[in-house]
Amino acid sequence: MCLECDASQAQKAQKFAMKKQPEPILVPDRRPLTQSQAARLAATTGIAAEELAGQSMVEISDKFRWRIDPEILLFRRICGRVVKRDPSTGAEFPVPFAKVHVEDTDCSFLGFFPVENPWAWFFPIFCRREEIGTTTTDGCGRFCVWVPRFEIDWILHFRRERICFPDIFTKPTVFEILRTLEREPSVPHGPDPDPGPLLVGGPQLLQQAEQILGRDVTLRLGAIQAGTTLGSSAAERQRILAGAAFPQQLPPPLPAEFRPAALRSGDHNKAVRDTLSARLNLSAKIVEKFSLNHFVGPFRRCIDIITSEWVPILDVPDITFRVTQDVNGNGTEETIYSEGFFDVRWNAGNIPDVTLTASPIAISSHSCDVPDVPCGNTPAIQFAGLMPLVNPVGPADPYVDAGTGYARRPNRPHPSGAFVDPNPHPLAESPFTHVLQLYGCNRVNNAAFYRLRYSFNGGPLASFVGLTWPLYRVVAGNLQSLWPISDAAGWYPVLPAADNWFPDLLLLEWPTNQFLDGLYSVQLEVGNAAKNVIGTSSVVGFRIDNSAPFAQFTRLRWRKSGGIFQELPLTCPVIPRGVIPSDIEIEVSYTVSAAHLRSVQLGGGGCGGGSPTLLSALSTAEHWHSSVGDNSVSNTATFQLLATAPAGAYSFNLLAASRAFNPAGGDGGHSADWNYDPIYNYSPPSLPVAVVNAN
């Protein structure tokens, strides 16, 4: 990456990501057709399956020229990624260099449609699979495969002929859950077909969605929503909205008669099979593999027609994925993802990327897109994540201040204190947070070891010790991993470029949340085989801040419009607005302080039919730090609730955000050349208020 060229940093990072895209192991039009593929192509073209099986698309095109529409023999590209989910945070980490097996699948299911339930589940009772292709994920867990067009046409044709199949076999996304809630009468909704760049329902919508999606997803969406500014990147928001609403299978609410306590038989599943076989008039052979422990879902239930609770759905075609990885280094690949029915949202237009969530045994990485690190013969710490630590030539703005440890481009002050503030903005002082990947040059002449030493807040030098991180490579088709280990003095081995470990020239994966907040002045030392220092880099500062802002409601008052304000407790407040409702005003006071404040927002949410609207100046409910020293806010905002709004539960929601950020690139910062406004650490206190029609 060119360290002297300011405007091209993001372009180079994107080019690097593109060149890392994997290619299929076998050229797709040279792969022989399987028996099931031949049967599907035969049904489409009228040519006998026996003449097609074992032939490649190239051979079929030559042999049956002018008998088969050439478009049928084309391919469509399906891309996706394999990730491993952190159960405690919900974060997704890439699974590198895993083998993705693409399978032609025909399955029969028993569909379970619980009465008065918006969701459906499917129990597979018979499946036939044939592998039709393989590929390998790259270092970011990404993959792409080519699927014959006739396969996709067959799936689409099958579903078009059956009522509700496009809906009940489509896994819901986060966006679709929010969209469904927006359309409910209790939530104000936006225009079709897209709610635009903002979530129309606001905090109220996210509060309802939390019951379905979980707190981690809704909190993150709320933070992104609050941090959205004109022209800012929507990449992270779109990634979350496109994610699966239910990344893990959720068990169905089985009827009481199928619960173990209700069945006298010792073989629980057999008793259920016998009951369903008799009730649905199915042979015992068809349901012999049915198990209550083997289900797929939840899916959206078909609401267009009346559906029985249990419905057999036979011979459903699909293309599924199975993922394997050598997780223990024994040369044998273990299955880390399987039976992901209906992962692909099939349609005639653009096919969205798929996300396959691997099992806990999968080997994942914290490093994904990595910088192209130039290494001469001088030790240097050159990148934190994808962000350069070497500043461009002026007059371009610097990336970092190596002395103070602050990043100078992300989350700049707004001198007006408003969220919408005209340029130019002064340089930022934004600290670093979360896990930092430090890249640089340690391959200098005679170097065998290296270490990173730091001074904390101007104190004595110490070495990073006891930290390790995964590196990967593929040798002869087998995944190998390496976890570098330091000695007691912090010395790590210098890895030769020829060893091809990924990511290359990663000096340290630094979990900053395990360290005290403050200024770390870091330098790289390289040593010879005897661990004698033969070179030292320039010092680079990193200001670390993993703290969330302190945010608190301090006072709550209300009055009927034009009356006198009355105090309310902050715990379980109730507003009696009269038997005949009156317009009311609610005064909310709050205080926020942070080591590095980015912004504060206060909003009101309702229970449907109306929400509190801001009466006081916008500056009482929103504030963006106006200078790097502006790190606290105390304010009072006044809201109005009209008499026409229904009685019920309302809330006031604060979002206090730190300006600390992480430059790994997952939030699109490199695409904006780090001139962007991300949120990582934040506090979201909420103050519920009950409004009743009483005196």
Alpha-helical runs (H) found in 399-473: none
pLDDT at 115: 81
The β-bridge relationship of strands 334-337 and 622-624 is: unpaired
Q: What are 161-210's pLDDT values in tens digits? A: 888 887 788 888 787 777 777 655 443 333 333 434 345 456 667 767 77
pLDDT at 155: 87
Percentages helix, strand, coil for the chain, rounded to the nearest 5? 20, 30, 50
C-alpha distances (whole Å) from 683 to each of 244, 419, 658 are 26, 18, 9
Cα(first)–Cα(last) distance of the chain, in Å? Answer: 70
Q: What are 236-278's pLDDT values in tens digits? A: 677 777 777 777 778 888 887 787 654 555 567 788 888 888 8
Q: What percent of the chain has pLDDT over 90?
A: 45
C-alpha distances (whole Å) from 54 to each of 35, 60, 169, 205, 262 are 8, 10, 31, 54, 52
If you average pLDDT over residues 499-508, what whole number do you get?
94
Beta carbons within 10 angstroms of residue 333's beta carbon = 17
Is the per-residue pLDDT at 626 higher than 60? yes
Is the per-residue pLDDT at 85 higher than 70? yes
Closest CA to 138 of 178, 103, 175, 98: 98
Winning range, highest mean pLDDT, from 2-6, 153-157, 255-259: 153-157
Closest CA to 6 of 427, 391, 438, 408: 391
pLDDT at 183: 56
Say if CB 175 and CB 242 are below 8 A apart: yes
The β-bridge relationship of strands 686-692 and 574-576 is: parallel
pLDDT at 10: 33
pLDDT at 558: 97
Say if CB 380 and CB 647 are below 8 A apart: no
Residues in the chain: 695
Can you tell me which residue has the tokens 């919900």?
90
Is the per-residue pLDDT at 431 higher than 80? yes
SS3 (DSSP) at 569: coil
This prediction's pTM: 0.76
C-alpha distances (whole Å) from 118 to each of 112, 113, 246, 271, 308 are 12, 8, 14, 27, 14
Q: What sign does the CA torsion over 291, 293, 294, 296 have?
A: positive
The rounded distance, in Å, linking the Cα atoms of 90 and 78 is: 25
In the structure, what pLDDT confidence band is assigned to residue 287 with cuts at 50, 70 and 90?
confident
In the structure, what pLDDT confidence band is assigned to residue 514 with cuts at 50, 70 and 90?
very high
Question: Using the 8-state DSSP alphabet, how is residue 515 labeled?
Answer: S
Question: Using the 8-state DSSP alphabet, how is residue 411 labeled?
Answer: S
Token duo for residue 356: 């396959």
The rounded distance, in Å, linking the Cα atoms of 394 and 408 is: 14
The rounded distance, in Å, linking the Cα atoms of 440 and 378 is: 10
Say if CB 66 and CB 46 are below 8 A apart: no
The helix (run of H) or strand (run of E) holding residue 92 is: strand 92-94
- Burial (CB < 10 A; 0-12, 13-18, 19+), residue 196, is exposed
Half-sphere exposure of 417 (CA within 13 A, CB side): 12
Winning range, highest mean pLDDT, from 204-218, 378-392, 470-484: 378-392
If you average pLDDT over residues 616-643, what whole number do you get?
96
CA 635 vs. chain centroid, Å, equals 34
In the structure, what pLDDT confidence band is assigned to residue 694 with cuts at 50, 70 and 90?
very high
If you average pLDDT over residues 26-44, what whole number do you get?
85
The helix (run of H) or strand (run of E) holding residue 474 is: strand 471-475
Of 61-75, 278-292, 339-353, 619-633, the least confident: 339-353
If you average pLDDT over residues 550-560, what whole number do you get?
97
Domain ranges of the chain: 25-169+310-357, 174-242, 380-408+434-544, 550-692
pLDDT at 204: 64
pLDDT at 289: 85
In the structure, what pLDDT confidence band is assigned to residue 229 with cuts at 50, 70 and 90?
low
pLDDT at 476: 78
CA 477 vs. chain centroid, Å, equals 29
Can you tell me which residue has the tokens 């009228």?
46
The rounded distance, in Å, linking the Cα atoms of 451 and 492 is: 6
The rounded distance, in Å, linking the Cα atoms of 234 and 238 is: 6
- Burial (CB < 10 A; 0-12, 13-18, 19+), residue 143, is buried
550-692 CATH fold: Immunoglobulin-like (2.60.40)
